[in-house]
Amino acid sequence: MTTMIKIALIQMCATPDVEANMATTLRQVTSAAEQGAKIVFLPEAFAFIGPDREKRLILESLADTADVARPILEKCQEIASQHGIHLVLGGFHEVSDDPERSYNTCVHLGTDGAILARYRKMHLFDVELADGTFLKESKRTLAGSLPVITDTPFGCLGLTICYDVRFPNLYQKLVDMGAIALSVPSAFTATTGAAHWHTLLRARAIESQCYVIAAAQYGNHHGRRYSYGHSLVVDPWGEIIAEAATDDAVLIADIDPARVQQVRSELPSLQHRRALN
Kindly name the residue from 13, 106, 162, 210 that is annotated as catalytic: 162
Specify the pTM.
0.96
Can you tell me the distance from the alpha carbon of 71 to that of 59, in angstroms, rounded to the nearest whole number? 10
Its CATH class, for the domain covering 5-272, is alpha beta
pLDDT at residue number 66: 59
- DSSP tag of 98: S
Kindly name the residue from 44, 55, 60, 94 that is annotated as catalytic: 44
Can you tell me the distance from the alpha carbon of 172 to that of 188, in angstroms, rounded to the nearest whole number? 22
Kindly name the residue from 13, 55, 94, 121 that is annotated as catalytic: 121
pLDDT at residue number 135: 76
Q: What is the mean pLDDT of residues 162-178?
A: 98
Look over the chain and give the mean of its residue pLDDT values, rounded to a whole number.
Answer: 95
137 in catalytic set:
no
Residue 241: partners with Cβ closer than 8 Å, 6 or more residues away: 233, 234, 235, 253, 254
CA angle 63, 45, 35 (to 5 degrees): 95
pLDDT digits (tens, 9 = 90+) for 211-227: 999 999 999 999 989 99
38 in catalytic set:
no
Buried b (16+ CB within 10 A) or exposed e, 67-101: eeebebbebbbebbbebebbbbbbbbbbbeeeeeb
139 in catalytic set:
no
Can you tell me the distance from the alpha carbon of 24 to that of 39, in angstroms, rounded to the nearest whole number? 17
Q: Is pLDDT at 1 greater than 70 in this prediction?
A: no
Domain boundaries, the chain: 5-272
Least confident range of 10-19, 119-128, 171-180, 246-255? 119-128
Q: What is the mean pLDDT of residues 195-205?
A: 98
